[in-house]
């Protein structure tokens, strides 16, 4: 049971994080405006800033988050090292600390005592405040992440994290500045500005993605889907889906949803750099969407006084629920039959059974999609007929 929301307890200042955030932000609000007014910044500085921003962002989303945080796929060591290098350049702590805290966040989402960046403690806290003080909920428990402790890339980066940070954040911008004869432009744009923007784009996933958007899959937590936010978070804006199906390597599951992290992982798999990509079956996705429509329809019913038209719509809703329950039971039976058939020794019988079951599952998935639209229409009718209690 989640604890009730309360004001954050007093905790000592986390000086390393506070000084780092202040040190990286101060030049952006003081030196950079003057420099842009008084000097010409080369196009190369802006181009490489964008490239480094993307490298940092997707090393966090594809590496820190979906690979190490959720084990949504397996990666070749070469790809892991790229994530470790450019993820360290984002200065969001080591893989070990970041992924450990994120798993706790999913285990205790919204709990004000245990979720490291609980949205129930306010926008400021979930965005950046949780890092500025040494709260008990932020202290990592490495005993819960044995897989990370056994990962050589994770542990090498953790042990030498400071050198990774300094080498990338000073070495890369300064070297590029020498190459293009624009050292200060690269330091300010590809160094400080890129880092501050990268920070807040990621922080928005903990704050804004729990406050703004829709909840098409679950209402059990504060996570939201937000197509606009996905544009700035490399596809992480589909957060309501992610909190229900965290092991999926995708966040944007629809073909039109902007999720470059998903496309990167799929491309790496095609190149042989990633494997074992986990995907939630379409039936489970459709089942969650339909169940959520029923939940919202019942909320509309509960908030209205009964009348004749509303009772008719309620009967329709219960009939839809009966059909939904039968569909889910049919799918469960098919899965049970599939496991039984897999034990058969006759290969031709197995292949015939597999084809038959797959066709049945596809028919069930289509039926759920149609029913979701019906229940959604029914919910809208219920809302239109509601007479407040």
pLDDT in tens, 113-171: 999 999 999 999 999 999 999 999 989 889 889 999 999 999 999 999 999 999 999 99
Please tell me the distance from the alpha carbon of residue 357 to that of residue 74, in angstroms, as a whole number. 29
The domain spans of the chain are 15-275, 282-385
- What 3-state DSSP class applies to 46? helix
**pLDDT tens column, 367-386:** 778 878 887 777 777 666 66
- What 3-state DSSP class applies to 274? strand
**pLDDT tens column, 79-118:** 999 999 999 999 999 999 999 999 999 999 999 999 999 9
Pair type for strands 274-275 and 74-75: antiparallel
- Phi, psi torsion values for 133, nearest 5 degrees: -130, 155
Average pLDDT over the chain, rounded to whole?
88
Q: What is the pTM of this model?
A: 0.88
Given a cut of 70, whether residue 8 has pLDDT beyond it is no
**pLDDT tens column, 209-220:** 999 999 999 999
Determine the pLDDT at residue 381. 73
Q: Which residues are CB-contacts of 261 (< 8 A; sequence separation ≥ 6)?
A: 58, 61, 62, 66, 234, 235, 236, 251
Determine the pLDDT at residue 308. 64
């Amino acid at each position: 049971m989640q604890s009730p929301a309360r004001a954050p307890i007093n905790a000592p200042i986390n000086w390393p994080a506070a000084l780092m955030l202040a040190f990286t932000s101060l030049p952006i609000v003081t030196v950079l405006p003057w420099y842009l007014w008084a000097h010409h910044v080369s196009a190369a500085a802006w181009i490489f800033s964008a490239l480094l921003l993307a490298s940092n962002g997707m090393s966090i989303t594809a590496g820190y988050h979906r690979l190490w945080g959720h084990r949504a796929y397996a990666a070749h060591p070469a790809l892991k090292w790229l994530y470790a290098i450019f993820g360290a350049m984002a200065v969001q702590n080591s893989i070990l600390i970041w992924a450990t805290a994120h798993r706790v966040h999913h285990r205790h989402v919204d709990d004000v005592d245990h979720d490291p960046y609980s949205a129930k403690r306010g926008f400021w806290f979930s965005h950046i405040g949780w890092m500025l003080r040494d709260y008990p909920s932020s202290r990592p428990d490495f005993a819960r992440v044995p897989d990370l402790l056994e990962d050589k890339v994770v542990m090498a980066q953790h042990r030498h994290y400071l050198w990774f940070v300094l080498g990338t954040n000073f070495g890369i911008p300064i070297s590029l500045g020498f190459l293009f004869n624009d050292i200060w432009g690269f330091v300010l744009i590809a160094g400080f500005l890129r880092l501050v923007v990268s920070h807040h784009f990621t922080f928005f996933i903990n704050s804004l993605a729990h406050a703004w958007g829709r909840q098409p899959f679950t209402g059990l937590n504060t996570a939201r889907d937000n197509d606009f936010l996905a544009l700035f978070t490399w596809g992480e804006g589909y957060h309501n889906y992610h909190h229900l199906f965290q092991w999926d390597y995708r966040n944007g599951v629809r073909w039109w949803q902007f999720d470059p992290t998903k496309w990167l992982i799929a491309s790496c798999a095609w190149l042989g750099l990633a494997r074992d990509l986990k995907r939630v079956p379409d039936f489970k996705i459709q089942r969650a969407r339909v169940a959520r429509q029923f939940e919202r329809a019942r909320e509309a019913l509960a908030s209205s006084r009964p009348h004749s038209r509303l009772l008719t719509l309620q009967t329709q809703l219960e009939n839809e629920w009966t059909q939904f329950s039968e569909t889910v039971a049919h799918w469960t039976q098919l899965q049970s039959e599939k496991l039984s058939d897999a034990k058969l020794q006759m290969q031709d019988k197995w292949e015939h059974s597999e084809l038959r079951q797959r066709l049945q599952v596809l028919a069930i998935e289509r039926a759920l999609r149609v029913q979701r639209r019906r229940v959604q229409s029914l919910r809208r009718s219920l809302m239109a007929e509601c007479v407040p209690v």
